[in-house]
């Protein structure tokens, strides 16, 4: 290796951002229309922080999933590794960069749960839950989109 190459390799960080002002790549969903895939990426910019980047896309997918719910339904999840049936109602989603995605919600017994997952190992099966009768259905996609907007690079 030449001295110039060695100096260049030593100066190059392990994670090099090529995001800049790059728009979000569109997902590959063969059955989706161009409008549907464009809606998932509308206004979204790539992020250098991998946990934040996973959070941004996850929030768009949750928001899109909620569009198909009835007024008495809300989003839930089945997550591999959770005790029991592996289900939880999702109240909120967050991230702690550079590597954690966090799900906050309730288990099947109504007890609070918090799942902390590495962004590279996330597997979430979104499902539909009937809301409790005493309150309106919660929609978390909108609040997640607001958080994405606040952290959107300019």
Q: Kindly report the backbone phi and psi dihedral angles of residue 13, in degrees, each rounded to the nearest multiple of 5, phi listed first.
A: -70, 160
Q: Is residue 12 part of a domain?
A: no
Q: Is residue 118 part of a domain?
A: yes
Q: What is the distance between the alpha carbons of residues 108 and 129, in angstroms, rounded to a whole number?
A: 11
pLDDT for residue 86:
80
Domain range for 89 is: 50-154
CA distances from 100 to 1, 13, 18, 105, 140 (A): 37, 21, 21, 16, 19
Count the domains in the chain: 1
pLDDT for residue 102:
92
Cross-strand pairs, 78: 87, 125
Total-model pTM:
0.71
Mean pLDDT in runs of 10 for the chain (154 residues)?
Answer: 48 43 75 85 82 88 90 85 79 90 88 90 85 82 73 63
pLDDT for residue 15:
39
Q: Is residue 13 part of a domain?
A: no
């Amino acid at each position: 290796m030449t001295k110039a190459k060695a100096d260049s390799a030593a100066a190059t960080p392990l994670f090099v951002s090529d995001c800049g002002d790059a728009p979000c790549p569109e997902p590959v969903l063969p059955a989706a229309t161009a409008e549907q895939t464009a809606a998932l990426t509308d206004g979204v910019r790539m992020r250098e922080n991998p946990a934040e980047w996973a959070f941004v896309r996850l929030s768009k997918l949750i928001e899109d999933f909620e569009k198909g719910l009835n007024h008495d339904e809300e989003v839930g999840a089945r997550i591999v590794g959770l005790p029991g049936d592996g289900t939880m109602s999702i109240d909120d989603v967050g991230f702690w960069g550079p590597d954690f995605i966090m799900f906050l919600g309730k288990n099947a017994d109504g007890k609070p749960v918090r799942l902390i997952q590495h962004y590279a190992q996330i597997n979430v099966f979104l499902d539909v839950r009937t809301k409790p009768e005493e309150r309106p259905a919660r929609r978390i996609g909108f609040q997640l989109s607001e958080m994405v907007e606040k952290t959107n690079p300019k």
